[in-house]
A and B are shown apart, each in its own frame.
Chain A
Amino acid sequence: MRIYRYYTIAIIALGAGCVWLASISYDRQPGTIYFAWQHLTLFILLGLLLNRMTSRLLGPGRRYAMAFFAPIVLLGPAMTTLLGTAASLLQGAASILREACFDRRKTGDEGTSAPSRRKGDESIYQGKGRNGLFATHLLNAAQAAIAIMFSGQIFLALGAEVGEIHTAPDLVPAVLAGVCLLLIEILLSETTTAFDRGRPLLPAWRNGLARSLPVEGSVVGLGLLLALLYQQPHLLLPEGGANRPLGIIFITLVVIVPCWLLYYSYQLFLEMRQAYERTLRTLSGLVEVRLWGSSQVSAAKQEGLSTPGARSRQTAQLAAAIAEQMGVSPAEMEHVRFAGYLLEVGKIGLHRDLLARRSGMSGSLSPRQRKAFARHAELASQILEPVEFLRSVALLVRHQQERYDGLGYPSGMKGEWIPLGARILAVAQAYTELTEGNEASSPLSAQEALARICASRGVRYDPKVIDVLTEILRTRGLIPMSAECRVAPAEV
């Protein structure tokens, strides 16, 4: 938390510096032909509208700078810095005002039907007092000022002249400045979020870039297009079109509606994926209730054991964490997570007696029965077969029972031949099962569970995966830093 505070102060100071620089230098810069109230209104309007559309999509931390690329090209960095900062402060003030109104209304009717705030806002305001709120908005404004000022200076340094794009080569500095603007803005706001929530920086940057670049890049591109059209006076605004309110509305529509469409589709896409994951979780939870029987579920609840749905979620998350640490691609990470949810689906096809024995309620499994039990992985891949999208996931589920020494099911794959995701899942599932316990065995501590898994190191489980698990448990503080996994594979 302390680092976040220092970071906030530093960024706000830097932003204030940019604004100061802008305020002393703007009248010395050329390109003021667009310095008319109509154009300034238009730019601020575009900035506010674009920000409003993006704030939900791009996550917490508002981004203003991308909407101000056209004025950077047309008016120069100094003027635009002032514009962008003003717009973001304006919006900050508006949202603080709205917040105050909400508070009053909430105390009025005891929060029975307090209007829910928009999702994007909620995550910004979480757990921050009034001072924190002010700081957040100042921080947003400062980020905008920094991004605009720096990229604008780069635009000038590359030899471009403000308000002069007439041939294709003139576009080169503008495009480079646009790239800088994007990078500065995305990295700054991702850093803020990462510090705020105590997350590691690098993955945050990577995710932020992957998520925002297509949309923000398009917005900056459209901004450049707008700037370009502005230079062709007969196109966008013939005969002083900007002086007519309709002209302003027209330009706004022509720029905003395509952006809206872009956001809408992208948002839909992201929501769809989230809903899909939620659905997988719900359905896999149902599968597990079926396997356990509802009486056992309620018994588990009473004894404080985790309920089945929660268990598969844990496996999925742990497996995804291991996969991330091992540096697999985001797509592969998703496969591992989805497979984690679906590991047990195949058990639905097994005989009840087999399941009861396996969970230790009535006798134990004979070797033949153990083999029959292991077939559930194959059954799962049969169930998932109709879903083309889950093909890679089904493959991981299918090979979850493979052993590192090649004595597993169903294919007897050995070592690195087993898909990495399946090796990860095997370890994650074993760990979850050991730490959560079941009817037959009580829950173990993290260290005990790890020791059990280590006993099968290189036999049942991939040593590399176990090492990564050990590292994760260490950083999470679940096992002492000194703990190691050096158990000789004597038994099993």
Chain B
Amino acid sequence: MQSATGLPGKVYLYSVPFLAVVLWGVLLVRLPLEHFSLSLSVQVIFFLLLTIGAGLSPVKLPREGIITIAFAIDYAGILIFGPPIAAGIAAASAPFVLRRTPPFKVFWNAGQIIFSVLAAGYVYHWAGGNFLFSQSDLSSQAVDFSRCLPALALGGGVYVLVNTLAVVGAISASTGRPLLGTWMVSFGWMAIRFLAVAPFGVLMAIVFQIQPESLKIAALILFFVPLLIARWAFKGSMEMLDVYNQTVQALSNALEAYDPYTRNHSERVTRLAELIARQMRLPETKVEVLLAAARLHDMGKCRYDWESIIRKPGRPTDEEWQVIRSHPMDGAQIANEIQVALLPSTDRIVRAHHERMDGSGYPDGLKGEEIDVAARILCVADSFEAITSRRSYKSERSAEEAISELRKNAGTQFDPRVVEALADALAENGDDLALEPISQPVKA
């Protein structure tokens, strides 16, 4: 976040928290604070404690950002106290949720939450919703939430939208990635699930009105248990996703390390593919699929005694050709077998990474635009890596030689646009691309 690129990004990053605090202050002062009673302050403090408790162990999302069940509580806060007080409560919990985080980042997040809560609250009110504490004199009133269904939905939607867009805005301002694409990748898949947390908030606001107090506490417990279990399970899934990625990485590295010449091939291909994709400004969702496919693209070779075929002098026999031509299909099958929920499926791209632009590739003989752009990129990255690295049967060649080799076959084998993107990307940040083996080989 500190290394913002460009002036608009910097302006965005630094203005959000300050604007939020100013806006919040103005709105708070406009409340009839002289009516702020003792019982109201007790309830506010109680609510603040709940918010902090709920946010204590945030769930890390697979890409960027964290999620806490605090949304449910924030939303309940809006319905109970009204936007300004709820925003104050939500923002006050930020330092507790984001421990071990630089102060400015905490400040920034507090500002972002203030914006989300205020926006959701006022949209809810505008759409006809009421608050349990009347905003005109802070006295408590009964609210029939069942009559505010559209307002409730609208308020929840605005909260999710403002919240995620603000975070994605910060990410895209500091990395230079496109706003909408990053949002789609990071939050698009879960915006609806996130929204499903809102009824928890409504339920909590209803529970909050239960009398007497002892029954209210019991009801809050009944209410919190499912919420905590949902959170626990969701956290578990996210952690499992992490573990999954690590395991696939560790074992595929081990598989490649079997042959010293192909060691780290996939890792280098993945980096090249990312370079090309960024140069071509591919949509973020596409980039993600591409990278996942690049990590797995040669797994199909593991099904065969690949080295003995490749190292054998002379032309491969028909049978060996069969094996060579079927490895993308095997790779696709493996990619399909190890497919996991929440991650994009990569089998189609792995399958097509040896197709050629003129239709003479394998296994399906696809042509030109029929081949997915991710597969075309993967093909170029794969070939570039193969040319520039040393194998038992050939020595390595320089990047320039490789590019001219690729250019020679552009249009027939490779997509010319992809080849040029690679050439440009290498010209721009060639120094970054150390093609040395990255990790230490496993000693035998």
Binding site for B on A (CB under 8 A): 165-168, 171, 214-215, 217-219, 221-222, 224-225, 228-229, 232, 234-239, 241, 244, 246-247, 249-251, 253-255, 257-262, 264-266, 268-269, 271-273, 275-276, 278-280, 282-284, 286-287, 289-290, 293-295, 345, 348-351, 379, 382-390
**Apart from A232-B211, A379-B443, what 6 extra A-B contacts exist at CB < 8 Å?**
A222-B226, A235-B210, A262-B233, A268-B341, A388-B243, A389-B247
Q: Is the C-beta of B146 less than 8 angstroms from some C-beta in chain A?
A: yes
Contact A282:B200 (CB < 8 A) given known A167-B214, A241-B144, A384-B250 = no
Contact A265:B237 (CB < 8 A) given known A218-B229, A272-B340 = yes
Cβ-defined contact, B444 with A349, below 8 A? yes
Q: How far is the CA of A255 from the CA of B222 in the complex (A)?
A: 12
Q: Is the C-beta of B349 less than 8 angstroms from some C-beta in chain A?
A: no
Q: Which of B210, B258, B337 contacts A232 (CB 8 A)?
A: B210
How many whole Å from A246's CB to the nearest CB in chain B?
Answer: 6
Majority secondary structure, A binding face: helix
Stretch at the interface among B302-310, B394-402, B416-424: B302-310
Cβ-defined contact, B254 with A287, below 8 A? yes
How many whole Å from B362's CB to the nearest CB in chain A?
Answer: 19
Cβ-defined contact, A268 with B237, below 8 A? yes
Interface residues in B249-299 by Cβ distance below 8 A to A read 249-255, 257-258, 299
Q: Is the C-beta of B212 less than 8 angstroms from some C-beta in chain A?
A: yes
Binding site for A on B (CB under 8 A): 142, 144-147, 149, 193, 196-200, 202-203, 206-207, 209-212, 214-215, 217-219, 222-223, 225-227, 229-231, 233-234, 236-237, 239-241, 243-244, 246-255, 257-258, 299, 302-305, 308, 323, 334, 337-342, 442-444
Cβ-defined contact, B254 with A241, below 8 A? no
Q: How many A-B residue pairs have CB under 8 A?
A: 218
How many whole Å from A191's CB to the nearest CB in chain B?
Answer: 25
Q: Which of B218, B226, B239, B247 contacts A262 (CB 8 A)?
A: B226
Contact A386:B246 (CB < 8 A) given known A224-B222, A258-B226 = yes
Cβ-defined contact, B207 with A254, below 8 A? no
Q: Which of A260, A269, A278 contacts B233 (CB 8 A)?
A: A269
Cβ-defined contact, B240 with A276, below 8 A? yes
Q: How far is the CA of A348 from the CA of B178 in the complex (A)?
A: 42
Contact A387:B199 (CB < 8 A) given known A234-B142, A283-B338, A294-B303 = no
A217 nearest in chain B by CB position: B225
A389 nearest in chain B by CB position: B243
21 contacts between A and B (CB under 8 A): A218-B229, A225-B222, A229-B210, A234-B142, A237-B146, A241-B147, A254-B202, A261-B196, A261-B197, A268-B234, A272-B237, A272-B241, A282-B338, A287-B251, A290-B255, A345-B254, A349-B254, A350-B444, A379-B443, A383-B442, A389-B239
Q: How far is the CA of A370 from the CA of B144 in the complex (A)?
A: 78
How many whole Å from A242's CB to the nearest CB in chain B?
Answer: 9
A247 nearest in chain B by CB position: B146
Q: How far is the CA of A389 from the CA of B249 in the complex (A)?
A: 14
Most interface-central of B237, B243, B252, B340 (chain A CB within 10 A): B237
How many whole Å from A472's CB to the nearest CB in chain B?
Answer: 29
Cβ-defined contact, B339 with A228, below 8 A? no
B334 nearest in chain A by CB position: A282
What are the 9 tightest A-B residue pairs by CB atom distance, in nearest-first order? A218-B226, A250-B146, A168-B214, A265-B233, A272-B240, A257-B199, A389-B243, A275-B340, A265-B234
Cβ-defined contact, B144 with A215, below 8 A? no
B221 nearest in chain A by CB position: A221
Q: How far is the CA of A123 from the CA of B149 in the complex (A)?
A: 39
Cβ-defined contact, A254 with B299, below 8 A? no
Q: Which residues of A contact B237 (CB under 8 A)?
A: 265, 268-269, 272
Contact A246:B147 (CB < 8 A) given known A262-B226, A293-B305 = yes
A213 nearest in chain B by CB position: B229
Q: Which of A225, A239, A271 contacts B223 (CB 8 A)?
A: A225
Contact A351:B225 (CB < 8 A) given known A268-B237, A275-B339, A282-B334 = no
Q: Which of B247, B299, B337 contacts A276 (CB 8 A)?
A: B247
Q: Which of A165, A168, A235, A348 contacts B209 (CB 8 A)?
A: A235
How many whole Å from B293's CB to the nearest CB in chain A?
Answer: 16
Cβ-defined contact, A236 with B442, below 8 A? no
Q: Which of B247, B334, B338, B444 contacts A390 (CB 8 A)?
A: B247
Cβ-defined contact, A272 with B200, below 8 A? no
Cβ-defined contact, B219 with A228, below 8 A? yes
Most interface-central of A224, A250, A251, A386 (chain B CB within 10 A): A250
How many whole Å from A326's CB to the nearest CB in chain B?
Answer: 26
Contact A282:B240 (CB < 8 A) given known A215-B229, A266-B230 = no
How many whole Å from A447's CB to the nearest CB in chain B?
Answer: 35
Cβ-defined contact, B338 with A271, below 8 A? no
A234 nearest in chain B by CB position: B142
Q: How far is the CA of A236 from the CA of B255 in the complex (A)?
A: 60
